[in-house]
Structure 1
Amino acid sequence: MKKIKKWFDSKSLIFPNKMYWFIIPALLMFTVFWILPIFQLFRYSLTNYNGITNNFRFVGLSNYKFLLRQGTILNSSKNTLIYTIVLVLGNNILALGLAILLNIKIKAKGLFRTIAYLPALFSPIVVGFIWSYVYMPDSGLIASLLNAFGFGAINFNILGNYDWAIYGVAIVEIWKRFGTTMIIYLAGLQTIDTSLIEASRIDGCNEWQIVRFIKLPLISASITINIVLSVIYGLKAFHYIFVMTNGGPGTATNTLMYQIYNIAFSEQMMGKASALAVVAFLVIITITIIMLIFMNKREVEL
């Protein structure tokens, strides 16, 4: 009895603190809504489940073989890669530039920060609908501005252009996410010791040299976080494509996540969609781990 009592002692190794019991509800929620669905996903990927009836059977790896034979998978992978590259570059360059500008002493700095962060407060669905009207041919905001300045907007239809639609949707996500990315960069910039900046100016460094050789290396942790998050958001692209283009025109904006949705709910092949989701899950996890390992080696400790 003494040993059993010792196990539940708050000073024991097994239960070093009674506050650890408070993580149990969160752990249960995480298990029910995250861990179990992942195992269920792997299970369905090995069956011919159609998403409606429970009359399905085990088919082994035939769903994965189907993905290799399906030409649209290669197209959706290419679109996802383009989308991710545009998002990573555009989001981080814009956010970092604004963070550096808004970190200096200027009037109404707080107001500019608030305005830059405002798009992050809207839901992706609302943002998608707003930008659908912005991009609308003839009567949209951009078309109206082009007409007002005499450029003409007869041929303006970015979401209807096969070559440019994916870039138009990526711009929308950049607009939505750059505020959050900027806040992370600002937090990193504000941890830099001002004496380092002052010493570099005394040594004759100009502003570009200060940014390149002092600020950027010292916010490498923020750069790592933002690039990894941008890559994950790019690989998971779905919301704006679903609202704005439905994968079109043709298959121009058909990304991996939209392809999973299309196979699962339009074609009612949940087993094949689960197989594609498993592949996408493993790819995202692998890319994220490789990026973290690669970029953490280049971080500078303050």
Structure 2
Amino acid sequence: MNSTVMKKTMYFFAIPALVFYLIFWIFPILRLFQYSITDYNGFSQAYNYIGLDNYKALFNGDTLGISVKNTLIYTLVTVVLGNIIGLALALLLNMKIRGKGIYRSLAYIPTLFSAIVVGFIWSYVYMPDYGMISSFLDKFGINDDNLNFLGSYSSALYAIIFVEIWKNIGTTMIIFLAGLQTVPNDLLEAGKMDGCGPWRLLKHVKLPLLATAITINVTLSLINGLKAFDFPFIMTNGGPGTSTNTLIYSIYKMAFTEQLFGKASALGVISFALIIVLTAAFVIRMNKREVSA
């Protein structure tokens, strides 16, 4: 079979994937842009084109600013703490300790549960008076009627962020562990012979060789943070007030509760652009670090 026939055959096998890509990815994005300049309510077939009025309303209102702020906080804390804890676990469970296979499995178990299950479990854990944390503190005589993690405006977002990190820490740890397995022992031994301690070995040997794993974990954490919806929806329903309103949750609420589908589409376009720009910037930055490392 000559090369021309092989190329035609390859294109032929690519057609089904291309069709699915166009139908389930490109077409919805184009429709999103179309609805963002209409007054479509999500139910009626009739709608009017209103130009950039939806975008103007978003930029002049409070919803966009609050949602972006909460989403950026959610993303920043998830990326930083999630990767630090995941790396620490990976380093610990990469050491020669008894039963490390069991510990690795235990750390990975939360990843196997769905967000719904995890959200309901942690809602009980955080529950005031009768929740697991409150009951535990009661055993030590610590009774605080104001201890309401999900009901407090100042703590609700961070309580949800902790659950996000807890659920995904297993994946982060496994990726770092895979990277640590590729670090040559000869290089570590040479570093020890040169007088490098654990911290210098981590900084000058392990971290540079983990550049690819760091890029993958940072990118995954970034995307998960920017599209956060499950836990704000399950655990707090965006409350109290607007303290846990993320971009994706605000889109859902605007479209299906307030029936402002056109305005929600405009917010979706803004969210799409934000996610693309931030993710691309991080990937480019991390790839440069990989090359320099």
Structure 2 length as normaliser, TM-score? 0.96
Percent identity over the alignment is 55
CA distance in 1, matches of 2:252, 2:264: 7
The match for 1:152 among 143, 159, 163 is: 143
**Farther off after superposition, 151-160 or 123-132:** 151-160
Aligned to 1:197: 188
For structure 1, which runs of at least 5 residues remain unmatched after alignment?
1-9
CA distance in 2, matches of 1:158, 1:51: 35
1:172 and 2:151 aligned: no
- CA drift of 1:231 comes to 1.2
Superposed CA offset, 1:100-125 (max 9, x none): 11111111111111110000001111
CA distance in 2, matches of 1:87, 1:154: 29
Q: Which secondary structure state, in structure 2, belongs to the residue aligned with residue 50 of structure 1?
A: coil
CA distance in 2, matches of 1:22, 1:115: 42
The match for 1:109 among 100, 112, 118 is: 100
Q: Which secondary structure state, in structure 1, belongs to the residue aligned with residue 238 of structure 2?
A: coil
- CA drift of 1:19 comes to 5.3
The match for 2:72 among 76, 81, 84 is: 81
Superposed CA offset, 1:134-184 (max 9, x none): 100011111111111222242210100101110000000000111001111
Aligned to 2:220: 229
1:275 and 2:266 aligned: yes
Aligned to 2:88: 97
- CA drift of 1:20 comes to 5.4
Retained in 2: the 8 A contact 1:47–1:60? yes
1:266 and 2:279 aligned: no
1:293–1:77: structure 2 CA closer, same or farther, 3 Å change rule?
A: same
The match for 1:254 among 245, 249, 256 is: 245
1:14–1:235: structure 2 CA closer, same or farther, 3 Å change rule?
A: farther
CA distance in 2, matches of 1:107, 1:24: 51
- CA drift of 1:95 comes to 0.3
1:206–1:17: structure 2 CA closer, same or farther, 3 Å change rule?
A: farther
- CA drift of 1:278 comes to 0.4
Aligned length in residues = 293
Aligned to 2:50: 59
1:270–1:146: structure 2 CA closer, same or farther, 3 Å change rule?
A: same
Q: What is the letter of the counterpart of residue 96 of structure 2?
A: K
Aligned to 1:141: 132
Q: What is the letter of the counterpart of residue 299 of structure 1?
A: E
- CA drift of 1:82 comes to 1.1
CA distance in 2, matches of 1:21, 1:137: 60
Structure 1 length as normaliser, TM-score? 0.93
The match for 2:172 among 165, 168, 181 is: 181
Aligned to 1:213: 204
Superposed CA offset, 1:4-37 (max 9, x none): xxxxxx5334743745544433332222111111
For structure 2, which runs of at least 5 residues remain unmatched after alignment?
none
Q: Which secondary structure state, in structure 1, belongs to the residue aligned with residue 290 of structure 2?
A: coil
1:44 and 2:35 aligned: yes
CA distance in 1, matches of 2:66, 2:75: 14
CA distance in 2, matches of 1:216, 1:249: 40
1:237-248 to structure 2, matched below 5 A, reads 237-248=228-239
The match for 1:132 among 123, 126, 139 is: 123
CA distance in 2, matches of 1:237, 1:156: 25
1:35 and 2:41 aligned: no
Q: What is the letter of the counterpart of residue 50 of structure 1?
A: N
CA distance in 2, matches of 1:196, 1:287: 35
Retained in 2: the 8 A contact 1:137–1:153? no
